[in-house]
Each structure stands twice: as structure tokens, then as C-alpha cells.
Amino acid sequence: MFKVKVYVTLRESVLDPQGKAVTHSLHSLNYPEVSDVRIGKYMELTIEKSERDLDEVINEICSKLLANTVIEDYRYEVEECVPQ
């Protein structure tokens, strides 16, 4: 069994209005030291062992469903879990 942590972020060149809104809210809440916020997604997948190659499966899942690769980048980390 594997625990896969997927991070999806907007590409650098893409504007992030949600992040800008959070930055403005933080300035209103008296945190002027926060100069920028970028919002992304974080997902934890539990994947059972199968005959297919794990990295291939994760890349397919990310590009088909979890990330929009036109405007987003993704990266992931795999942890193997030992069942108790």
C-alpha cells in the first residue's frame, strides 16, 4: 500500500486572483509583511499494490483528473505503508 502526496500549483506565469484576495485580506488583518500568496491543491491518495507501474499510474491520474496541465504543474511524493 502506498500513500501518495500530490501537490498541484498554478504555473508561475498564470495569475492567481484567489491568492491576491488572500493577500489583501491579510493586509486588512494587519499582516503587511505578507507580500504574496499562491493557492494550490494538496491531495493524499492511498494506492494499493498492483501489476501496473506506480509512477505511470500516478502521472496518468494527475494529468487526466487532478491537474489541468495547461495552467498547473504537479509534483508528488510516494511513501510506502506497512499494514499493521
Contacts with a second copy by CB under 8 A lie at 1, 7-9, 19, 22, 25-26, 29, 31-50, 52, 57, 60-61, 64-66
Interatomic CA distance for residues 37 and 16, integer angstroms: 9
Closest approach of a second copy to the CB of residue 4, in Å: 9
| Distance in angstroms (rounded) separating the CA atoms of residues 41 and 10 | 9
Q: Which is nearer to a second copy, 30 or 70 (CB)?
A: 30
| CB of residue 55 to a second copy, shortest distance in Å | 13
The grid coordinates of residue 28 equal 486588512
Torsion angle (degrees, nearest 10) of CA 28, 34, 39, 45: -120
- In angstroms, rounded to a whole number, what is the distance separating the alpha carbons of residues 15 and 38? 9
Q: Quick one: 48 or 70, whose CB is closer to a second copy?
A: 48
CB of 48 to a second copy, least distance (A): 5
